[in-house]
Amino acid sequence: MEERQPYGSVTAKTLRDLAELVGPRNVSGDPEKLAAYSHDEVPSASLPEATLAQALVFPESTEHVSLVMAYADRHRIPVTPRGAGTGLSGGAVPACGGILLSFEKMNRILELDRENLTVTVEPGVVTAEINRAAAKHRLLYAGDPCSGDASFIGGNVAENAGGNKVIKYGATGAQVLGLEAVLADGSVTWFGGKRRKDVTGYDFVHLLAGSEGTLAVITKIILRLLPLPKHTTDLLAPFGSVEEALGFVPRIVIEAGLLPASVELLDRRAVEVAMRYLNAKLPEPDAAAHLLIQLEGNDPEVLADEVEKVGDLCLAHGARQVYVADNRTARDKLWKARKAVPEAIVAFHSRYAKEDVVVPTGSVPTLMVALEEVDRAWGVEHIAYGHVGDGNMHVTLLPPEGPEGPEKLREARHDLYRRVAALGGTLSGEHGIGLKRRDDTPLFLDEAQLALIRRVKAAFDPKGILNPRKIVPGN
């Protein structure tokens, strides 16, 4: 990589130049606005090197993005792309000031192509709008992060967001067929397209999916669509122990021979905090763990049989009861409880370590035992919930009271990481690395891979202006 420092500074002239390129209404240097846009859902104080942007740009077109990138390239000004700012890793938080590129004005669904089963969108479309637009045509856009009512599709692609349906349909990257991207020097190119297969050249589409805005700026996205399942049923199964709940999960595939759309776990503390937050009740609040299982199908009778089969299996494997939600209201109530957990934790706890570890699915039971050991070793408490069907647990560690709390929390987090690594797991399953986890990547990626990541970054972004200092140390 070329020598990257010092970056060019952003001055009053820079703001004037940018206004000339994209129009004055699309540029702001207002300190209040800059502060509001320079954070995501991670408290900035906990992020190493978090800075404020110095110029805010709201592009309205690919051409705008290209002009801004070419300008930034000439003046060596860092650029941080930003979606809705719902990220949980500080990915959209500038580490070196510079320009913040917010995509809220590039928010059009450009085309829903029923022949090719694709939808082409700009990066600022709210994820749930794509789900709804597809559903109107009885089609499914399968990306389904819990933040879908707020997050943008560009942020989903850049994070390779997961969510509730990964077990059946894969993460966001699996839905992406093509990307229009603006490279660091302002040139515009397409990776992939509407094709279902493509082995012509490297698979840049899936390199960009999950690249967290460090390699290129995504300006259009072609997503695959699938037939929308006609019927959906959710089952809520409270278990007396976490081990029983986890022991049951693989039985759905192995014994029932079914691939559910979702399998989510909420431990007792997760249920407690969500119910307190919502001022609501689940029927068995003292159960050690709840599983939320979603099944889909086209034939209501077949689906009813499958629901019965899974329900019976749950009971045979220790579920205290099985509650079936087969209408919209009942299902929404269950998912509201599941989706409330992260917000509830933030509402009731001022200090926490919100983790996103993932282990091979067969190792989740060992992970849960390891968590108990981490609690005992450091005096912390944990809340565990998340996409257990994928082995991706959102573990939140809570520190003990007292002055040594923060240090114990830090130690507990590292202890957890070591145990996850030993299980063949990794640091983040879907929330990404950003600034928050950057310095922990060397525990999970060896030197050869860290060096390769830096070389890939340098190949895409020789001047190091695109979302610098993210993902691995030295980027």
Ligand X SMILES: Cc1cc2nc3c(=O)[nH]c(=O)nc-3n(C[C@H](O)[C@H](O)[C@H](O)COP(=O)(O)OP(=O)(O)OC[C@H]3O[C@@H](n4cnc5c(N)ncnc54)[C@H](O)[C@@H]3O)c2cc1C
- Contacts with ligand X by CB under 6 A lie at 40-41, 80-88, 91-92, 103, 123, 145-147, 151-152, 154-156, 158-159, 161-163, 212-213, 217-218, 342-343, 430-432, 434, 467
Smallest distance from the beta carbon of 421 to ligand X, in angstroms?
A: 21
- 3-state DSSP assignment of residue 156: helix
Helix (H) or strand (E) holding 344: helix 328-348
Smallest distance from the beta carbon of 130 to ligand X, in angstroms?
A: 12
Q: How many CB atoms lie within 10 A of CB 233?
A: 23
Smallest distance from the beta carbon of 157 to ligand X, in angstroms?
A: 7
Smallest distance from the beta carbon of 82 to ligand X, in angstroms?
A: 4
Beta strands in 114-250 (DSSP E): 118-121, 139-140, 176-182, 188-192, 217-224, 226-227, 231-239
Nearer to ligand X, 297 or 339 (CB): 339
Smallest distance from the beta carbon of 69 to ligand X, in angstroms?
A: 11
Nearer to ligand X, 43 or 240 (CB): 43
Amino acid identity for residue 135 in this structure? A
* Residues 231, 315: Cα–Cα separation, whole Å: 23
Nearer to ligand X, 89 or 361 (CB): 89
Smallest distance from the beta carbon of 87 to ligand X, in angstroms?
A: 3
Nearer to ligand X, 83 or 399 (CB): 83
* Residues 224, 116: Cα–Cα separation, whole Å: 8
Smallest distance from the beta carbon of 315 to ligand X, in angstroms?
A: 29
Question: DSSP assignment, residue 400?
Answer: P
* Residues 437, 464: Cα–Cα separation, whole Å: 19
Nearer to ligand X, 123 or 399 (CB): 123
Smallest distance from the beta carbon of 122 to ligand X, in angstroms?
A: 9
Nearer to ligand X, 75 or 438 (CB): 438
* Residues 1, 355: Cα–Cα separation, whole Å: 32
Nearer to ligand X, 10 or 146 (CB): 146
Nearer to ligand X, 152 or 417 (CB): 152
CA distances to 124, 145, 411 from 110, rounded to whole Å, are 12, 22, 48
Nearer to ligand X, 123 or 311 (CB): 123
CA distances to 263, 315, 411 from 251, rounded to whole Å, are 12, 12, 35
What is the layout of strands, in order, in the sheet containing 217-224? 109-113, 118-121, 217-224, 176-182, 188-192
Nearer to ligand X, 215 or 322 (CB): 215
Contact 291, 248 (CB under 8 A): yes
Nearest CA-CA partner of 41 in 146, 197, 127, 143: 146
Output the DSSP codes for 424-441.
Answer: T-BSBSSS--TTTTGGGG
Q: Which residues contact 446 (CB under 8 A, 6 or more apart)?
A: none
Contact 293, 263 (CB under 8 A): yes
Q: Which residues contact 362 (CB under 8 A, 6 or more apart)?
A: 250
Q: Where are the alpha helices (DSSP H) in 51-170?
A: 62-75, 127-136, 153-159, 166-169
Smallest distance from the beta carbon of 211 to ligand X, in angstroms?
A: 7
Nearer to ligand X, 155 or 178 (CB): 155
Q: Which residues contact 13 (CB under 8 A, 6 or more apart)?
A: none
Smallest distance from the beta carbon of 319 to ligand X, in angstroms?
A: 24
Smallest distance from the beta carbon of 84 to ligand X, in angstroms?
A: 4
